[in-house]
Amino acid sequence: MPSQNSARFIVAFNKIEKTLKEIIGGASYLTFFKAIDLAKKDNATVRKYEDDLREFADLRNAIVHHRTAAEYVIAEPHLEVVELIEHIELLLSQPVTVGTMFARTVHTFDATDSLAKVLRIVKVRNFMQLPIYREEEFIGLITAAGIARWLAQTVEEKIISREMITMNDILKHEKDGKNHRFIASNTSVYEAEEIFKQSVMEGGRLEALLITRTGKKEEKLTGIITPIDLIKIE
């Protein structure tokens, strides 16, 4: 009787092979390794699991090409390996998007809102990233670091009214719009993870990814991702 683990592994592998070729729109004669090379250029999930996929290919070859009998395979996958390949197959065929994982109502603020008003809300809601709008136009993202920089600039002033200071005043102390990026709701969560990591490698640091339907800032915010949210991504 054929091994259940081997059968499950081959089924998942064949599904992944089909999905890879759908991703690249390539010909059916492409090898699995070539399909990985091409698909990883545009697919963050393939990039994340590239090493696993290559190891799966070696194991698949051992199972299929080195059978000594129809009912005996030379390389029998462990259950953990089978569960991993099935998990990756699901991630490739049904990608987890930021719109699915991080959709939420995003609290926004107006440029004319006073610092006092915003701080009262932050105290209750514990926000760390504050999208700022002028009427209905997005004009920037205020962060705790931006507020700290504003405080540092005003440390010599004897009296500062939090009721008089507005978000527009604080926004001048942010990183010139380089602390955020807009992304589309259908973006893979692994691509979002890469965007954060790439920003650090380039010497900057994104404080948030702002989600809209197609990634345009003119659209309504449908979610937000902060660096701490990365722990939710497996």
Domains in the chain with CATH codes? 4-95 (no CATH), 101-232 (3.10.580.10)
How many percent of the chain have pLDDT more than 90?
61
Tokens representing 12?
A: 């998942």
Query: Rounded CA gap, 100 and 147, in Å?
Result: 31
| 105-143 tens-digit pLDDT | 999 999 999 988 998 998 898 888 999 999 889 999 999
- What's residue 70's pLDDT? 52
pLDDT digits (tens, 9 = 90+) for 14-59: 999 999 999 998 767 889 999 999 999 999 999 999 999 999 999 9
Per-residue pLDDT band at 151 (split at 50, 70, 90): confident
Quick one: pLDDT at residue 2?
A: 47
Q: Which residue has the tokens 């009214």?
A: 161
**Residue 220 DSSP symbol:** P
| Report field, pTM of the whole predicted structure over 0.75 | yes
Query: In this structure, what token pair is assigned to residue 67?
Result: 């059978």
Give CA separation, 110 vs 120, 171, 218, in Å: 15, 11, 15
Q: What is the residue whose two structure tokens read 């129809």?
A: 70
